[in-house]
Amino acid sequence: MKAVVQRVTQASVTVGGEQISAIGRGICVLLGISVEDSQKELEHMVRKILNLRVFEDESGKHWSKNVMDKQYEVLCVSQFTLQCVLKGNKPDFHLAMPTEQAESFYNSFLEQLRKSYRPELIRDGKFGAYMQVHIQNDGPVTIELESPAAGAANSDPKQLSKLEKQQQRKEKTRAKGPSESSKERSAPRKEDRSASSGAEGDVSSEREP
């Protein structure tokens, strides 16, 4: 599952010349559903979207608050073209979930989004319709999100968090340079050479003419 999240001052959806949905300050989410997506990917994406920190706090600090913290609105629009694969210059959409299955999946996504937040603040377009989406991007701020691959070991949120922490520790270790213990292991062992002046010295002397 892929999503493009834009921070907006306002956004709306028009179908057939009629505006069917609109929000003020908040985020607009363009969502592309893959043939491999399951409930696990759905829940992951809902959690990431609602917790994405793209707003400033009361003191003006950027990237501190999510849409729920600010009690802003969310506009969701289904967009299968996010699952595009180019064949030369021609878009191919075989990775997108088929329409009949995708509509049910998308409705489940909206339901989960409303359960996790305030349902009255969630708006959406019209699935399968030809829409004009008007977005007033604030910043501009645009974030791309992608759920872990289906069946991947890191699709478990707890495992993903664990792997992220391990990677952070590795980066800190590299930044500090080699540890003392590794320096000791790599340093020449002078004491070994001096201690071997007995037997090894005798052997080397026997080899000399």
Catalytic annotation, residues? 79-81
Cβ atoms of residues 67 and 26 within 8 Å: yes
Helix pair angle (99-116, 39-51), 10° resolution: 50
Please tell me what DSSP assigns to residue 148.
P
CB-hemisphere CA count at 13 Å for 97? 20
Report in angstroms the alpha-carbon separations of 173 from 114, 183, 207: 42, 14, 47
Contact (Cβ atoms closer than 8 angstroms) between residue 78 and residue 125 = yes
Query: CA 111, CA 205: separation in Å to the nearest integer?
Result: 85
